[in-house]
Amino acid sequence: MAEDDDDLAALREQTSHGDRIEEAAAEDARRDLVENILDELEAIDAGDKQKTISVWDGHLAAFIRALEENPDRLEEVGHALQRQLDIEEGDVDRSEILRLALRLGFQEAAPKEFEAVREAAREQATKGL
């Protein structure tokens, strides 16, 4: 039994060491993403890059335009997105709907990566304080 316990202890040590290495690598990768986002934010603030993004999608374009033709529906969809993101309900327009939908999609599909955006925003907001 003592030999089995020793083998088990050795296996635990190897596994925990591997976990720490993987965690450190993941933290480095996350930090790199935060730094890349900060660089992009600085370029936007400096006027070197645009704030706008665009997508090429006929179905989504039709959907957004149809919502714009039906302001009550546009507001319904916008408020539903705001609720999903725990944002206080407010005025919505085309840009706000798209912004919220992208945020919700990234938050749901890639929460760890999207957290890097939040971290970069916090760092940018406190820079120079």
What domain count does the chain have? 1
For residue range 84-125, list pLDDT tens digits in order: 999 999 999 999 999 999 999 999 999 999 999 999 999 988
Asked if residue 15 has pLDDT above 70, the reply is no
For residue range 32-62, list pLDDT tens digits in order: 999 999 999 999 999 999 999 999 999 999 9
Listed in order, strand segments (DSSP E) in 13-111 are none
Cα(97)–Cα(55) distance, rounded to whole angstroms? 14
Give the helix ranges, DSSP H, for 46-93.
58-69, 71-84
pLDDT reported for residue 21: 76
Q: Which domain holds residue 93?
A: 2-128
pTM of the model: 0.74
Asked if residue 1 has pLDDT above 60, the reply is no
Cα(78)–Cα(108) distance, rounded to whole angstroms? 17
Task: Give the distance, in angstroms, between the CA of residue 47 and the centroid of all CA atoms in the same chain.
Answer: 23
